[in-house]
Amino acid sequence: MISQRLREAIAGVFSEVDVALAYQQGFDKLHATPCFMTMPEEINKLIWNPLCVHNLTSYLPSLKKKKVAVVVKGCDSRTIVQFMQEGLINRENVVIIGIPCNGVISVNKVLHETNHEPIEDITFGENGEITVKTLKGEKTLLLSDVCPDKCKTCQYPTPIVYDRLVGDPITSDKSPDSVYADIKEFENKTLEERLQYWEQEFDRCIRCYACRNACPMCICQDSCIAETRDPHWISQRATLSEKFMFHMIHALHLAGRCVECGECERACPMGIPVNKLKRKINLDMKELFGYEPGIDPEDKPPLYTFKVDEVTIKEHKI
């Protein structure tokens, strides 16, 4: 079982690190939660299953001075690559325990399927079937139906960087064209329709900044323009225009940096599809610069650098 092999892998590197980041059972059967293990006996608390949705690498920049072992899925590993590009971690201080991943669940989608009843029990079958038990009875779901959208088009099920790999590598069987299919479809809507869509979504925003704080690539720390008085770009009013402005800036700051881990959207307590904006900008970055974030540690985000002639951009010939 992968859980057991994962425990062994962590036990194997435990003496080399100050803290190991993995998953343990959360407050109910439907939630896993990140655990920071500092004592060897804590390793027994560790779990691995499709509830392990969090991108644990988000904690790495704040632990930069420590030696850390971290469990990463394929998607999470892209964050580490991006951190390396931007010098946000010391790679030699991080022991990456990679796990090839067949997809995780979306808690919200499972709750939707079970009418938001408290989950009494949940079990995962070999072939992606999930049995959930509530007070109202039992229901079988398919992982492919209740996974986050990112898993449906996942191109990197096996971590891109790792020091130890637990489990056999998996190759993606999903078409690369499928990754931005939803964004392209959304762009077929008229400008008015899209504006109306975003106005309705952002109106729910409570400015709790869960999206920002869950985002591994948000690095302005305590100088985020959402709160600063200098520069004073956004007031503390809870109006649509202020919320819109914050989300636009958040998205633009991630241009060519967002690794599409989807933590922003998963963290949102109000169900706002905030990842869609970032993915739209990533699609633009791909079309403009032929660049995909979090793939090559030696690369640089396009907006961190400058080339006189961008191969993919046709400029006016003077």
Partner 1 sequence: MADTGFVQKEKLNDFLNELSKDAVVYAPCLEGDTVIFKAFDSGTTLCLDRPANNPPKLVVFPQSETLFSFKYKKDAEDPRKMSVELEANTDFPRAIIFGARPCDAKGFRIYDSVYIDTNTPDPYYKGRREKTMIATLCCSAPSPGCFCVAVGGGPAHREGSDVLITQLEKGYFIEPVTEKGRAILNVPRIEDGEQYAEEAHKRQLESHDLVRNPFAEDGQPKISRALFDLDEFWEHVVSKCLSCGACTYLCPTCYCFNITDEQALNNGERIRSWDGCMFSHFTLEGSGHNPRPTKFKRFKNRVGHKFLYYPEKYNGVIACCGCGRCIRHCPVSVDISEIVSYLRGPRFEFTNEPPESMGTDTNSQEQKQ
Interface contacts to partner 1, rule CB under 8 A: 18-19, 26-28, 30-36, 38-39, 54, 58-59, 61-66, 108, 111-112, 115-119, 135, 200, 204, 206-210, 212-214, 221-222, 227, 229, 235-239, 263, 266-267, 269-271
Least distance to partner 1 from the beta carbon of 310, Å? 33
Distance CA 211, CA 272 (A): 10
Looking up tokens 């420590």, which residue turns up?
66
The closest alpha carbon to 180, from 276, 104, 274, 251, belongs to 276
Looking up tokens 């293990």, which residue turns up?
37
For 51-75, give the secondary structure using H, E and C: CCCCCHHHHHHHHCCCCEEEEECHH
In terms of CB distance, is 119 or 166 closer to partner 1? 119
Least distance to partner 1 from the beta carbon of 177, Å? 27
In terms of CB distance, is 229 or 314 closer to partner 1? 229
In terms of CB distance, is 52 or 285 closer to partner 1? 52
Least distance to partner 1 from the beta carbon of 173, Å? 29
Helix then strand count (H, E) for the chain reads 11, 8
The two structure tokens encoding residue 41: 């006996």
The two structure tokens encoding residue 43: 């390793």
Distance CA 272, CA 266 (A): 9
Least distance to partner 1 from the beta carbon of 183, Å? 18
Least distance to partner 1 from the beta carbon of 38, Å? 4
In terms of CB distance, is 88 or 165 closer to partner 1? 88
3-class SS of residue 221 = helix
In terms of CB distance, is 30 or 75 closer to partner 1? 30
